[in-house]
Structures are given as C-alpha cells and as structure tokens.
Amino acid sequence: MTRVLSEVQANHCPAELIERRDVSANLAILRFRVAERPSFTAGQYATIGIAIDGDVVERPYSIVSSPHEPFLEFFIELVPGGSITPKLWELKVGCAILVRRRIVGQFFHTSSTCNTDLPFGTRQDFCRQPCHTSRFVCLQHS
C-alpha cells in the first residue's frame, strides 16, 4: 500500500531505529523507539511505513518484542527487489520510520492437550504442559 505522506501523519507516529542485529545476510532484528508507544498484546502486528519519493509505502510486520518492553522489535527478512525491505536494510541507527498507531491482528498457538491459547511468534511462545497435537490459528480483524 502506498499513501501520500501528508495523508498518513495523523494515523502514524515516528519511530527511531535504536538497534540493529544482523542474524544473517538476509535476516535482521530491528528495534525501534516509538514516540507514542502503542498498546498491543503478544501476537499482534504493526504496520511500518517508509517515505519513498513523497509517498509512504507500508507493510505489516509481526511484533516480536514483549508488550512490556519500552520498544518495538521486528524480525525482518530481506526481500530482494521488494518495495520496503531493501529500504529497511539501508536504515542506520538514528533513522526514523513511521508506525501506525493502531496495532491489529492476533496469532495464537493452541494445543488440544493443554487447552490454552498462547501467543505464537513472541518470547512467551511456549506451553507449560506437554502438547502432543498443536494447530495454528490466525485471526485478523479490523
């Protein structure tokens, strides 16, 4: 989705890259300090926007940081020729992006053995009881 910068400023807040950890040549963990830290629960995603030639190009990314941490952290895979990840790869510490204020979606790991919905894709991604059968449920709502 591409949007004009002036149209998105009301729905977004700036976020500063405060740390980057390269896991491999095409995988990185990007940590951002958000001016107005949005409220979210584990398993939700944020929409990141980058200004490119006067437009804002946006893509959704799952949040991997805990809701209790003072930053937003994303595990991102470089998509060669993609519209946004090559630009994310160029970011240096101190550079800014936009993050939508509205955090949405839910992605939970459920197990028929422990009958507990647990956030999947976060640091709390574990089940305290043995799980023999599991399934993944993605619920997305607006």
Long-range contacts of 79-85 (CB under 8 A, 24+ apart): 80/26, 83/52, 83/57, 83/59, 84/48, 84/50, 84/57, 84/58, 84/59, 85/59
- Domain positions in the chain are 2-100, 106-139
Tens digit of each residue's pLDDT, the chain (142 residues): 444 555 556 788 899 999 999 999 999 999 999 987 777 887 788 899 998 888 889 999 988 988 888 899 999 999 999 989 999 999 999 999 999 887 777 655 555 444 445 444 444 444 333 333 333 443 433 3
| pLDDT for 59 | 92
Q: Which fold has domain 2-100?
A: Elongation Factor Tu (Ef-tu); domain 3 (2.40.30)
